[in-house]
Amino acid sequence: MAESNRRGDEDAAAEHVEDVFDDAVDDDAAADDDKAKGGTALKTKTKSDPDRVGFFGRLGRFFREVIAELRKVIWPTRNELLTYTAVVVVFVSFITAIVVGLDFAYAKGVLFVFGNPKP
């Protein structure tokens, strides 16, 4: 049963890839047709174009897209957040202790090798 599901998933994935590839080929063919007719593949916007969006329109669209992306985020629960925070604090404290210990050891080593002149 599990193998049949996998095969079904593979077929669906392969079909999706073929659809995307076909769309890309169709887009390329349309662009080539436009070029063959003497036009450009891209539509150029002019100031009289009603689809032209101003600064505030682009800014509004940006914030709408940001909010849409934030809705897709899987936010951690309070318990997960506290656990992750504790792990980070412990790890940073451990690494800091190692760095402080090595710094102290190297300082003592340098003073031992080169001496400790008295002023």
Q: Model's pTM, two decimal places? A: 0.43
pLDDT in tens, 21-30: 555 555 555 5
d(CA 104, CA 109): 9
Whose structure tokens read 């849409």? 68
| C-beta separation of 34 from 41 below 8 A | yes
| Tokens, residue 23 | 């769309």
Report the C-alpha dihedral over residues 46, 49, 51, 52, rounded to 10 degrees. 40
Largest Cα separation within the chain, whole Å, is 89
Res. 118: pLDDT tops 80: no
Residue 117 clears pLDDT 50, i.e. is over it: yes
Per-residue pLDDT reduced to its tens digit, 52-107:
889 999 999 999 999 999 999 999 999 999 999 999 999 999 999 999 999 999 99
